[in-house]
Amino acid sequence: MAVELWLVRHGQAAFATGDYDRLTALGWDQARWLGEHLATRGLTFDRIVAGTLRRQQETAEALAGQIGGSVETVPGLEEYNPADILLAHGSAPHQTEDRRGHFRALRAALIAWSEGRLDGVAEPFDAFAARIQAAIADLTNVCQGRILAATSGGVIGYVVGTALGANGARMVDLNLQARNSSVTRLIVTRQAMILNMFNAIPHLEHPDRASAETYS
């Protein structure tokens, strides 16, 4: 029997404020709008889960407020530590107003990390991958039906990359393409994990939400 695993990237977080791990007002709106869209479609979920990070929890709470249900915390769905990875790569570890420069440096650092070329990182890429694999296995082994998981771009990039057989650099690119509050859907069976939808934002495809598509 297959499991539908819906991975939702958290809503817009407070980039370059010194407190990234919280949703902005727009981030809350993005998550609520997605919940309204799912509720309008009549979709129900057997479980709604989130990693331990505040921005993941807030996203799940906003979704659950629209579609009903309670939020479970599932350790293992947290993002990597970008500051730690940037520092190990010799780049400034803090977010700045120069978004292009920040993400250019982050991409280079993440690729080096994914290829095992960084020393002194608290969580090597292999450990990051192992905890995600364990969290996804626990979710899909215990529950049949439909699961919604609020998580982060790095987790989504890794899961999608694994389903597609992509290398580390491609996983990083998938990660950095993940839009805030976007939906990625996979069909998980005992034999395979199949990508069914990636990075979708149907809830933002309205004329009055043209400026609501964000990546941070």
pLDDT tens sequence for the chain (216 residues): 789 999 999 999 999 888 899 999 999 999 999 999 999 999 999 999 999 999 999 999 999 999 999 999 999 999 999 999 999 999 888 887 788 888 999 999 999 999 999 999 999 999 999 999 999 999 998 667 999 999 999 999 999 999 999 999 999 999 999 999 999 999 999 889 999 999 999 999 999 998 999 999
Predicted local distance difference test score (pLDDT) of residue 143: 62
Distances (CA, A) of 164 to 9, 64, 174, 190, 196: 19, 30, 11, 17, 11
Taking the C-alpha atoms of residue 82 and residue 91, their distance in angstroms, rounded to an integer, is: 11
Predicted local distance difference test score (pLDDT) of residue 55: 98
Q: Cβ(215)–Cβ(100) under 8 Å? A: no
Q: Cβ(172)–Cβ(107) under 8 Å? A: yes
3-state secondary structure of 49: strand
